[in-house]
Amino acid sequence: MTVRTPWHLWAVGIVAVLWNGMAAVDFTATATQYEPYMESVAQAVKDHVYSLPTWTFAVWGIATWAGLLGSLLLLLRRASAVSLLALSLAGAAGMLLVAFIYPAPGGSIGLPAGIVAVAALLLVYAVAMRSRGVLA
């Protein structure tokens, strides 16, 4: 017997794809120093971000792309979404640590902490959907 897809899976999945899609654009534009995207960012912040160690971009990339792929797999009702969303949460937590180690000029930990919270909620949701048999 197949478990019906609850309506909220579509709502959560679409919002998650949009959220992580925006993060993917932000990551890609920042990592490639795409100036038309970055022109509104203060020079001091750009200098700070561009001077971060390479490993921080790797952690950020893992958080971002695992989150996007996990969100897409959530929409496809794949249980592997859980693993990718867990990896995304780990990456987001790593970036919160980066915000403490390498604080941005005039920055706060509010945004990185909020990102960790969203990643955690997505993971909890995916685990719940897997336990109910919605994800296979």
CA separation for the pair 16, 71 (Å, rounded): 6
Query: Would you list the domain boundaries of the chain?
Result: 7-131
Segment 84-108 shows an average pLDDT of 95
Segment 118-133 shows an average pLDDT of 98
CA separation for the pair 47, 68 (Å, rounded): 27
Give the tens place of pLDDT for each residue, 42-92.
Answer: 999 999 999 999 999 999 999 999 999 999 999 999 999 999 999 999 999
| pTM of the model as a whole | 0.95
Q: Are 71 and 122 in contact (CB under 8 A)?
A: yes
Q: Are 16 and 68 in contact (CB under 8 A)?
A: no
CA separation for the pair 21, 61 (Å, rounded): 12
